[in-house]
């Protein structure tokens, strides 16, 4: 009996276990415990949530390994951590810490403005952001075992997450109606690997699990994203920048499970306290947007 670790099935498989769940940004062990207690299916360990990264400015890097290890000790659910786009050494460090998933994330300042990490080289699985199907399939081609829409992190404005999810899912539908002879041109126009384009057409879905991220702040936002066809939701600043994080976290978990039941959504949305303040993406200067990072 030979055992194999770090296989594609293993990498994709963990994301499949997260489906129908909520992954929450946490900055310390106490927040991680609150997230787990609220029913999070995983946490993302990072030093500053995106709203604070925006406010503070400067270069945003991988978090202190000590802080990540403390969060790993504090909870039994999977722990993810972020590295900068293209920064494969940060990724090697995170892998050596034993994090369960790495997010090669546009929320941090990119380390390489032309290349992403060759994620097939790692045993630990990666999740990457996308705005459209071409970007999603390029990341999967590099070895991402899970995809999330980018949205616009740290804004509390769901409009970009909706735009990106509609774009990806719309393209999957479009592929279903295309003839096989049209696929190479689709691949060229979208900058997507041809073999993966073919696979999406044949199966009618993304080759890996696809979550929503970037701007989800309420149970209704999370349920909206589920209706659009994503497999689950990341909530970053939306929880711990709100008035009552524990209550809001539990409400968003329930809203993802019961997204089709408006009476449950009404019940969990009652008296949640202040939502995060939020920033309107349409009034934001282009230079401040994070979603454009990624190539």
Q: Which helix (H) or strand (E) holds 211?
A: strand 209-211
When asked if residue 6 is in the footprint of another protein (CB under 8 A), the reply is yes
Does position 77 interact with another protein (CB under 8 A)? The reply is yes
The smaller minimum CB distance to another protein, of residues 124 and 144, is found at 124
Residues 97, 202: Cα–Cα separation, whole Å: 38
Q: Which is nearer to another protein, 33 or 279 (CB)?
A: 33
Query: Which ranges of 75-210 would DSSP assign to H, the alpha helix?
Result: 88-97, 133-142, 159-176, 183-190, 194-203
Our finding on whether 18 is near another protein (CB under 8 A) is yes
Structure tokens at 260: 């089709």
Question: Measured from the CB atom, is 94 or 196 closer to another protein?
Answer: 94
SS3 of 289, please?
coil
Judged by CB, which is closer to another protein: 36, or 106? Answer: 36
CB of 90 to another protein, least distance (A): 16
Candidate list 4, 11, 82, 119, residue with the active-site label: 82
Cβ 292 to another protein shortest distance, Å: 30
Q: Going residue by residue from 111 to 140, which x/- string records binding to another protein, judged by CB under 8 A?
A: ------------xxx---------------
Q: What is the rounded distance in angstroms from the CA atom of residue 145 to the CA atom of residue 15?
A: 7
Binding residues for another protein, how many (CB under 8 A)?
A: 42
Under the criterion CB under 8 A, does residue 7 sit at the interface with another protein? yes
Terminal alpha carbon distance of the chain: 42
Range in contact with another protein (rule: CB under 8 A) among 72-80, 171-179, 195-203, 271-279: 72-80
- Residues β-bridged to residue 274: none
DSSP-assigned beta bridge partners for residue 101: 80
**Structure tokens that stand for 134 in this block:** 């071409």
Residues 6+ apart with CB under 8 A from 184: 194
Annotated catalytic residue 82: yes
Binding status of residue 71 toward another protein by CB under 8 A: no
- Grouping H, G, I as helix, E, B as strand and the rest as coil, residue 55 is helix
**What gap in Å lies between CA 22 and CA 18, rounded to an integer?**
8
Q: Footprint of another protein on this chain (CB under 8 A)?
A: 1-7, 9-10, 13-14, 16-21, 36-42, 72, 76-78, 95, 98-101, 123-125, 250, 253-254, 256-258
Which residues are marked as active site? 82
């Amino acid at each position: 009996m030979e055992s194999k670790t770090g296989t594609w099935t293993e990498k994709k498989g963990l994301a499949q276990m997260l489906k129908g769940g909520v992954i929450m940004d946490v900055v310390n062990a106490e927040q991680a415990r609150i997230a787990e207690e609220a029913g999070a299916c995983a946490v993302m360990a990072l030093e500053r949530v995106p709203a604070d990264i925006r406010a503070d400015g400067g270069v945003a890097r991988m978090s202190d390994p000590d802080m990540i290890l403390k969060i790993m000790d504090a909870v039994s659910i999977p722990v993810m951590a972020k590295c900068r786009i293209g920064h494969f050494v940060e990724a090697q460090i995170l892998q050596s810490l034993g994090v369960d998933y790495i997010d090669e994330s546009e929320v941090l300042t990119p380390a390489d403005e032309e290349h992403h990490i060759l994620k097939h080289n790692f045993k630990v699985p990666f999740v990457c952001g996308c705005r459209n199907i071409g970007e999603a399939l390029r990341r999967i081609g590099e070895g991402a075992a899970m995809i999330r829409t980018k949205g616009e992190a740290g804004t509390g404005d769901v409009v970009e997450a909706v735009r990106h999810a509609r774009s990806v899912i719309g393209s999957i539908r479009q592929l279903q109606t295309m003839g096989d002879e049209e696929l190479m041109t689709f691949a060229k126009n979208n900058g997507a690997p041809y073999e993966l384009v073919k696979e999406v057409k044949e199966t009618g879905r993304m080759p890996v699990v696809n979550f929503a991220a970037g701007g989800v702040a309420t149970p209704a936002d999370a349920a909206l994203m589920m209706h659009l066809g994503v497999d689950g939701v990341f909530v970053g600043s939306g929880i711990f920048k709100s008035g009552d994080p524990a209550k809001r976290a539990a409400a968003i978990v329930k809203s993802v499970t019961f997204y089709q039941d408006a009476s449950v959504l009404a019940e969990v949305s009652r008296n949640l306290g202040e939502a995060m303040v939020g920033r309107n993406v349409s009034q934001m200067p282009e230079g401040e947007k994070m979603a454009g990072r990624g190539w």
